[in-house]
Structure 1
């Protein structure tokens, strides 16, 4: 009974967090008179950058994933592991690294400038697309690589025995694989780019490069036009829901391929031209992904010693927000680690964080100054946004534990608290640590709702980095970005490592 009561309480609180802010936004949007030319331009730019970003990410990921699937070399495991970096990498840190490479005074312009090559401007549509490809190329590569590795090596052996050439093998094995995987990967990345905020905020570069999320932020932060922000938020919500449904529709279920699970050599791509092409794709992808991070580290080492007290105070705020959002997310996730709970948690993907933030702003405004609760609202929104990922991690393990230990629980008459303490938590320790680390890292690097509410005394570290960039104090911004990167990776490592120590599984 206690477990059911906790599930009911958690479910009602999550549902209330969704319905309450949305209703507040709907109520406020009644006074909206209509969309203007700038709003429609923001919609067009949002759809355009999402389409181009998703298409480029997937198109480049196909040859990179193919090369990684059929080549073995020293450091391959580290490079493949790097493909998970976008999930824990703070957006503002990556943007600063891209500026260090592709910006006006970046590495690329300094190198090519003396050769007479025109200087590259990273701001605008191409800058937003470049950043989104940087974030989503690893994700697309991992999705396609996972499917490619699932093809039994016996299929390639049979193709070699039949004497199939390169194009015949493409038609028989590779094209059917890509036809199943690529549409789903494209749709998922399109949804991610659709609701991007921090990238457009830092690299948008003017009214013609404004996304819907950025227009919502500008309406609240600068114009205080809550009706327009609410209407834009609803438009963003409708598009996100439609894109999410399309993503679920086109994401085909992979066809099971059976083999003998033997480590047999690959016969395809052994020609010298194919080997060179594969290594070129791997080298270019590695250079594109690693150079901005290396520049952040190099520039930040000198700047970290010049950080002011306000930066360290913001770092403390970010750590507290990350810990608070992690605790709240786990309190929701443990009782909701069921099928219906995961469906409820999926609202964290469909609902824009800015829409949620605006709704909470409208709810608390009659009772308290929203700026005084900025950190609490940020922690709550971050926990809600991380909930779908945490439930996806915990639910499979939790259901297996419930099935395996159902008879033991009944025989011993374990109550809800005893079951939680002696069975569920010890067996869930490993995935629980990973989920906590992921939530903490995502919350630590978030630059979203806090940009709406924060004042100088309550800024988080990502917002502080953005403010330092805006005031052209790039040395301090680099130092703060390095600090943010270290704290994010450190929190992820501590939680993930803690879940592995002495875990029961």
Structure 2
């Protein structure tokens, strides 16, 4: 009887959380639609829509095209630090966007080494602002993601297929045609759609590198309409447009997630044939160039941040504490919801799977716009800046955490579900003795990822916060806007250290609590 009561309570809790997530996402879209008084786009809005689509398409295309040779080189070459380099490709997921922009400015800015080299050859300087600057930043942030997705495709090809190709005497061109190209046809569309969606909802990059009205995105136009023009109708219209675009791309992304159809292998380690000669030099050159491109801005942030530590404003520590509180709370909230929904889906509540993925159809700024329009007539939005940022950050991390936990949860229920039922384990006892130890590793990794992403968020907080509730990314952006670049570099270094420390702490906790 107690077991049945516990199961009913668990289903009710999961349903409540799922409906809350759906209300937050769809309710925000409905609220914004209700405030849209004029459904016609002006010239500036049309320009913002065109720029958003163009920069997202170019960024996704370049990221994936550059990721193909990098993923292939990493798949078929073995060298000292190979696994470490692959792990370092996760760094841009943890790197706050404003910090990435500062690193790119240090390398590609007017006083950076790239322009210094161009000046030495008598060439005109390169401006990082505008379309090419936005695309450059997006490629920097998303090239590692595209590489990891495509590398997983190479690793999914059974090693026996390559051994058979060698036995048949297939040259590298034939292996590309018969083995690697079918995999790329299956993986590339999903990678393109994913990166396109991320660039479509990018806010901080356009805010810092857009360079003016001609390089304004939909999200940036929403922010300007609310914070500077206070045009609620225009902000609502643009938010609905953004939601429709994100929903369409999300549906395409889910439909394009297919396999290459190679069939199962014997589970042996993958050793992709590594041709010698000019191909070895080409692979080595690709890896070196990628390392310079991806690690150069990170090194620049550290080198420029150290002298700037002495020039940071006094308010940095209060902003850091706010960011830490919001990041930790949003990570714990996202993990709690993701775990509850994953357990419910495995036990038959399949409708919650769609609910968990709903936040992908809206950006954080669109959800924040709906909440801004909801609370503005009742209370000053500034008083709710931190709670709203916490809730939206948790919602935006939910789809990724849910996808991370769902396969592990299915394996947990399949391996230990009947045994736990026969022993009468339920409720908190089952959670403490079975669920958490078996899922501690993915939970720790997911919490670290969510916390690091929340630390660098510069979306919702920009709509709601005042100087009394600003987080560290918002403080850095304001320092950059005041041309206090040295102080901004020091604050950026503090933000990087805090983000990586949070990720390491959560990930370490999960590894230490994992069942053997």
Displacement of 1:111 after TM fit?
Answer: 2.9
Which range moves more in the overlay, 38-47 or 362-371?
362-371
State how 1:249-288 maps to structure 2 within 5 Å: 249-262=255-268, 266-270=272-276, 272-288=277-293
Once the two structures are superposed, the pairs formed by residues 110-149 of structure 1 within 5 Å of their partners are 110-149=116-155
Residue 50 of structure 1, CA deviation: 0.8
SS in 2 for 1:309: coil
Q: Which residue of 2 aligns with 1:53?
A: 59
Residue aligned with 2:228, SS: helix
Change (3 A) 1:428 1:174: closer
> In the alignment, is residue 28 of structure 1 matched against residue 39 of structure 2?
no
Give the root-mean-square deviation of aligned CA atoms: 1.7
- Which of 473, 487, 492 in structure 2 is aligned with 1:476? 487
Partner of 2:104: 98
SS in 1 for 2:379: coil
Say yes or no: does 1:10 pair with 2:17.
yes
**1:451 paired residue number:** 462
Counterpart pick for 2:355 among 332, 344, 347 = 344
* 1:211 equivalent in alignment to 2:217: yes
CA distance in 2, matches of 1:163, 1:394: 42
Q: Check the 8 A contact 2:385/2:464 in 1, yes or no.
A: yes
How far is 1:108 from its partner?
A: 1.1
Higher mean alpha-carbon deviation, 479-488 vs 5-14, is at 5-14
Change in 2 beyond 3 A, CA 1:387/1:416: same
Unaligned runs of at least 5 residues, structure 2: 1-7
1:400 & 1:336 partners in 2: Cα distance? 15
Q: Describe the superposition over 1:310-342 as per-residue Cα deviations: whole angstroms up to 9, x where unpaired.
A: 111111110111122122212322321124333
Native 8 Å contact 2:246 2:361 kept in 1 = yes
Deviations 1:154-209 (A, max 9, x none): 43333333333343332222222222221221111111111111111111111111
The residue that corresponds to 2:74 in the other structure is 68
1:358-373 alignment runs, 5 A limit: 358-373=369-384
Q: Distance in 2 between matches of 1:161 and 1:439?
A: 46
Task: Choose from 322, 326, 333 the match for 1:321.
Answer: 326
Say whether the 8 Å CA contact 1:304–1:476 is kept in structure 2. Answer: yes
Question: Would you say 1:503 and 2:508 are equivalent positions?
Answer: no
Of 383, 389, 406, 1:378 maps to: 389
Moved more, 388-397 or 217-226: 388-397
8 Å Cα contact 2:274/2:280 also seen in 1: no
* Deviation, structure 1 residue 303: 1.0
Matches of 2:264 and 2:417 in 1, distance apart?
A: 33
Matched residue count: 503
Whether the aligned pair in 1 keeps the contact of 2:322 and 2:471 (CA below 8 Å) is: yes
TM-fit CA distance, 1:266 = 4.8
Deviations 1:335-379 (A, max 9, x none): 211243332111111112111111111221222111111111111
Equivalent residue number for residue 3 of structure 2 = none
Work out whether residues 342 and 388 of structure 1, in 8 Å CA contact, stay in contact via their aligned partners in 2.
Answer: no
Asked if 1:335 corresponds to 2:340, the answer is yes
Scaled by the length of structure 2, the TM-score of the pair is 0.94
* CA shift for structure 1 position 265: 5.9
What is the TM-score when the length of structure 1 is the normalising length?
Answer: 0.96
Measured after TM superposition, the shift of residue 146 of structure 1 is 1.4
Secondary structure at the counterpart of residue 336 of structure 1: helix
* CA deviation after TM superposition for structure 1 residue 268, in Å: 4.6
Q: What is the distance in 2 between the residues matched to 1:297 and 1:281?
A: 25
C-alpha distance 174-264 of structure 1, shift in aligned 2 (>3 A): closer
**Deviation per residue, 1:282-319 (Å, 9 max, x gap):** 11111100000000011111112322211111111101
Q: Say if 2:225 and 2:235, in contact at 8 Å, map to a contact too.
A: yes
1:174-193 aligned at under 5 Å gives the runs 174-193=180-199
